[in-house]
Amino acid sequence: MNYKNLLTLILIPVLYVSCKEKQSTVTLTPEIIQPAVKNLVTAYGPTRMVRSVKQAKNGDILIASYTGLWRYDGKMFTNITTALAVPSIWDVLEDKKGNLWIGTKDSGLYYYDGKTFLHYTTRQGLPSNMALQLFEDKAGNIWTNAGGATRFDGKSFKTYTSKDGLPDNGMNTFMEDKSGKLWIGTRGDACYFDGKTFKVFKNKEGKPFHNVWSIVEDQKGTIWFGAEIIKEFKNSTYYMDGAPGLWRYDGTNYNKVSEMSASAIMQDKQGNIWTTGAEKHIGMSDWKLLRYDQSSLNNEKPAVTEIASIDKMLCRIIEATDGSIWFGSINGVYRWNGKDLTNFQGKEDQVCHIDQKQSWITWKGSMKISAAEKHVGYVSISKGELWVANNRLVGGAATIDMNAMEFADKNDKNTPIQHLQSADYFDVKRFPFATIEISQVDSLNDKTVQISGYLTIKTISRLVSFPATIDIQNGVLTANAKLTIDRTNWGINFQSGKFYKKMADEIVSDEIDFEIKIVGKK
């Protein structure tokens, strides 16, 4: 037998399949999940973070929460994802055919037809399993923000990234206008997409809009969005021109109509514009639910009414068919009926308020090669809550006062504290507060848990995960943890070896170590 010819016959189909795979995207069949347990039904809504609220075609309210996807029928709340081992859910979308799409923070996408779940992850072509935003365009394509602008046409995924002209791979929102142009808010510059190219949109001074979280087109075709303006970009750092605000684009000019930040925007049937946003600084000041009167929307400063002020982060806003306004928050879902504000949070969780005097965070930074030149200091927790259910930690959130940063050694003169608070590092003047928001707690043993959550510094939110020891006795929760972050993930690039060519002893380590002690009391 001629083994050389036999080997050739064996390799030909292998090489052929290999070449075909390189030429086209291979889409694997999604995982099929048949619910085998009964959905949880309760008189109360979710008690933890609600990132998104939508209304289904049958009138039910859909609530995307860290505890699952909930459906409210006007009387009872049903967790329709009880059967799934699902991490935090960020968004939900009912497509034109009435099927549900569910976006998660680290488990990809789920598709639900009312009976069966299909699960899409990186195995099926998603570039990332972090799919936080969902949008359906007029052609029926599903868009999400998995490692860029990712489009699903029903068969396969296509992702646009910075290599294709997208300004930033971190996506916040999508909106398709009446002309079919797709507007995209990113954590960098905002842009729009005509199907072929991405174009950054700018104000009359030629400055781009930064970190846009919400974009809507009103009934008259005017575009509304919340954004910051970039003053300059130097040494891999953005320098902003003033605070974020509400902007309006009439097809010709971009005008700032309010200094209030607008992280979520919606127009109701009467034509009023609704927004949510922090009054001053994210993490510290109250969040406002505002209504801009439709009769004055074209004015330089439209008339605005404050509907609610809440000391929790407020998320997506919708108007239900009955005219009520729904929005998510850090501790559940709210409804405004025109007179009263209802929080559907139940009594299942116990809230422990963080004791500022007994809680502290120690930080440590250093030069890259000089062990002697280390800086150790403290930063204060200004406020926060921990949520406990069945005597175990299930969530929480805390605000960190960056103005209260100090060195442990009062004689540390190598790096003035003012330098750490400057734009080179934490830019405390513009961003006086950082926040951490716990999204998931997994038990490792009787005393140790793995905490996952989002750390926000300088408006940049990144997922962090770290172990912690937890002790709960007589209504007092004590937590101890250690966390190390790469500061460049939050845009703190000063003298980083990743961005600058300097002498080795001039390079500042990218790692910052934190030791955390938290005491929470009922």
Torsion 195-198-204-208 (CA) sign = positive
Please provide the distance, in angstroms rounded to a whole number, between the alpha carbons at the two ends of the chain: 83
Residues β-bridged to residue 398 = 384, 436
Distance CA 46, CA 44 (A): 7
Query: What pLDDT is attached to residue 496?
Result: 86
SS3 readout for 321-348: CCCCEEEEECCEEEEECCCCEEECECCC
Query: What pLDDT is attached to residue 491?
Result: 85
Backbone angles phi, psi at 123, to 5 degrees: -70, -25
Contact 158, 150 (CB under 8 A): yes
Query: What pLDDT is attached to residue 234?
Result: 54
Is 102 domain-assigned? no
Q: Domain tally for the chain?
A: 1
Query: What pLDDT is attached to residue 392?
Result: 86
Query: What pLDDT is attached to residue 249?
Result: 95
SS3 readout for 216-274: EECCCCCEEEEEEEEEEEECCEEEECCCCEEEEECCCCEEEEECCCCCEEEECCCCCEE
Is 146 domain-assigned? no
What are the E-state strand segments in 7-108? Answer: 31-33, 40-42, 50-55, 61-65, 68-72, 77-79, 89-94, 100-104
Distance CA 279, CA 40 (A): 36
Confidence (pTM): 0.73
Query: What angle (nearest 5°) sits at the alpha carbon of residue 203, between those of residues 202 and 206?
Result: 70
Which token pair is 147?
Answer: 């490692």
Distance CA 291, CA 273 (A): 6
Residue type, 130: M
Q: What pLDDT digit, counting tens, does each position of 320-363 carry?
A: 999 999 999 988 899 999 999 998 875 545 788 999 999 989 98
Backbone angles phi, psi at 472, to 5 degrees: -125, 115
Pairing of strands 392-407, 433-443: antiparallel
Largest CA distance in the chain: 90
Contact 259, 243 (CB under 8 A): yes
Tell me, what CATH number does 434's domain have?
Answer: 2.40.128.110
The H or E element that residue 354 is part of is strand 350-354
Distance CA 339, CA 336 (A): 7
Query: What pLDDT is attached to residue 9?
Result: 32
Q: SS3 for 213? A: coil
Distance CA 101, CA 95 (A): 7
Residue 487 Rama label (left phi>0; alpha psi -120 to 50; beta): alpha
Q: Residue 390: give the domain boundaries.
A: 350-521
**Residue 166: how many CA atoms within 13 Å on its side-chain side?**
23
Distance CA 292, CA 273 (A): 5
Walk along the chain (522 residues) and give the pLDDT tens digit of each residue: 343 333 333 333 333 333 333 333 445 688 888 876 678 787 778 877 899 999 999 999 999 998 889 999 999 999 999 888 766 799 999 999 999 999 998 899 999 999 999 999 999 989 999 999 999 999 999 999 988 999 999 989 999 999 999 999 988 999 999 999 999 999 889 999 999 999 999 988 888 898 899 999 999 999 999 987 755 555 555 554 555 789 999 999 999 999 888 999 999 999 999 999 887 655 556 899 999 999 999 999 999 999 999 877 889 999 999 999 999 998 889 999 999 999 887 554 578 899 999 998 998 877 665 555 577 888 989 888 888 877 888 888 888 999 888 887 666 555 578 888 888 888 888 888 898 888 778 889 888 999 988 888 887 778 789 999 999 998 899 999 999 999 998 888 888 888 776 655 567 888 999 999 999 998
Query: What pLDDT is attached to residue 246?
Result: 94
Is 63 domain-assigned? no
DSSP designation for 195: S
Query: What pLDDT is attached to residue 25?
Result: 45
The H or E element that residue 3 is part of is helix 3-23
